Every structure is written in C-alpha cells, then in structure tokens.
C-alpha cells in the first residue's frame, strides 16, 4: 500500500460529495428565492440582507447521491472486480460494509426525512410540536432498530435497556435542535459539525 494509492482513495471518497455539494449549493442559491426559501434579517440573525435557504438540500444530496451510487456498485460488483480498483486495505471490509448497508440506509432515510421537515419549516413554518414528534420518531426508530444507544450501566436488563434507549433518543433530538439553533450564521453549523466529526 503506497501513499499515492491512499491519497487517490481519499480523494475518490471525498471529491464526489464535494462536487455534488458545490453544484447543489450553486443551484439552490438560484432557485431558493423562486420557492420562497429566503431568510429575512431579524434580531436573531447576523446578516443584514435576505439570504437564500436550502443549503441543507445540497448537503443532503452530497451524502445520499454518492452513497447510493456506492451501494449499487457494492451490490452489483464482486470482490474480485472491486479489488482491482480499491486499495488493498479496503477490500477485506467489503463484506462488513454490505452487512451494514441496511442500517446505514435507515439512518440516511431518517436524515432525509428530517431534512425535508426542515425545508418545509423554512418554507411554511411548522409547529414546534410537529417537528419534535417527527424528530423523536426518527431517533427512536434508529436507536431501536439499529441498537445505536448509550450504555446506562444499570444491572436490571429491561430497566437498563429502557433508560439507555430513552437517553439515546433524547440525546439525538437535543443534537438535532442544537445544530438547528447554530444555523443562524453562514458556515457555523457546518463548521461545528466538521470539527465535531474530526
């Protein structure tokens, strides 16, 4: 495994999402005003002039579109074919990746639903109870079906499971709304997400 092949692998993983996000943002900036997706200045905002909304659509497409293409390639091609184009360190993980595809698509489906909810809220304004209901539903489905939960370290199995699931769902909903509240300045929410992901 050479440094060059690793760099090509990283570039090949990042560039498609970057290009989709870049082009998607360019398109959304042009069409957002026609759809009524404009953020007007107010006492909570730092911008002095109207700003187009809908950047979340571009970011969502930048995640989902390359992942969908990767999923098709992963399901249609065999390991022998993929080993010719992938670095050696990635090939042993293909089987595990195929096993996890269902769970990853559940997460992406939930994220897409939340993105759509945010877009509707930007356009029409939704009651906070509707938004919280959908957020809690998506978080609960992800936690319960995938077992993505915090550990409460409670010896009683059923009580421990219930507390872990409840805390996990609350944590996910709190993060969703924290990032939503951070989204009052260009690049702030995305910048904090990038730092947190690192």
Convert the chain into a string of H (helix), E (strand) and C (coil): CCHHHHHHHHHHHHHHHHHHHHHHHHHHHHHCHHHCCEECCCCCCCCCCCEECCHHHHHHHHHHHHHHHHHHHHHHCCHHHHHCCCCCCCHHHHHHHHHHHHHHHHHHHHHHHHHHHHHHHHHHCCCHHHHHHHHHHHHHHHHHHHCCCCCCCCCCHHHHHHHHHHHHHHHHHHHHHHHHHHCCCCCHHHHHHHHHHC
Q: What is the mean pLDDT of the chain?
A: 85
**Mean pLDDT value across residues 177-183:** 83
pLDDT of residue 117: 92
pLDDT the model gives residue 139: 95
pLDDT for the residue numbered 67: 93
Q: Residue 43: which pLDDT band, with cuts at 50, 70 and 90?
A: low
pLDDT, tens digit (0-9, with 9 covering 90-100), for 93-122: 888 889 999 999 999 999 999 999 988 888
pLDDT at residue 48, rounded to an integer: 67
pLDDT band at residue 186 under the 50/70/90 scheme: low
- pLDDT above 90: residue 141: yes
Looking at residue 170, its pLDDT comes to 95
151 within 8 A of 164, measured Cβ to Cβ: yes
What pLDDT sits at residue 44? Answer: 65
What pTM does this model have?
0.79
Residue 88: predicted pLDDT: 76
Model pLDDT, residue 144: 92
Q: Is 192 a residue whose pLDDT tops 80?
A: yes
Answer yes or no: are the C-beta atoms of 40 and 50 closer than 8 Å.
yes
The pLDDT > 90 percentage for the chain reads 35
Residue 1 has pLDDT above 70, yes or no: no
53 CB contacts (<8 Å, ≥6 apart)? 32, 37, 38, 39, 122
Q: What is the pLDDT of residues 56-91, one digit of tens each?
A: 889 899 999 999 998 998 888 888 888 887 777 778
Query: Domain coordinates of the chain in residue numbers?
Result: 1-126, 127-198
């Amino acid at each position: 495994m050479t440094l060059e092949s690793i760099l090509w692998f990283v570039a090949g993983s990042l560039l498609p999402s970057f290009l989709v996000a870049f082009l998607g943002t360019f398109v959304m900036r042009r069409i957002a005003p026609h759809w009524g997706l404009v953020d007007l200045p107010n006492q909570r905002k730092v911008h002095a002039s109207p700003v187009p909304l809908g950047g979340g659509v571009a970011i969502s497409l930048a995640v989902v579109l390359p992942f969908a293409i990767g999923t098709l390639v992963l399901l249609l091609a065999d390991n022998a074919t993929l080993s010719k184009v992938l670095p050696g360190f990635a090939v042993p993980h293909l089987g595990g990746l195929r096993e996890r595809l269902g769970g990853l698509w559940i997460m992406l489906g939930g994220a897409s639903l939340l993105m759509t909810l945010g877009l509707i809220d930007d356009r029409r304004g939704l009651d906070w109870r509707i938004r919280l209901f959908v957020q809690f539903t998506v978080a609960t489905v992800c936690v319960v079906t995938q077992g993505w939960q915090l550990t409460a370290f409670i010896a009683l199995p059923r009580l421990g499971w219930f507390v872990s699931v409840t805390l996990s769902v609350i944590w996910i909903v709190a993060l969703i709304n924290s990032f939503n509240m951070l989204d009052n300045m260009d690049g702030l929410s995305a910048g904090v997400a990038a730092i947190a992901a690192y």
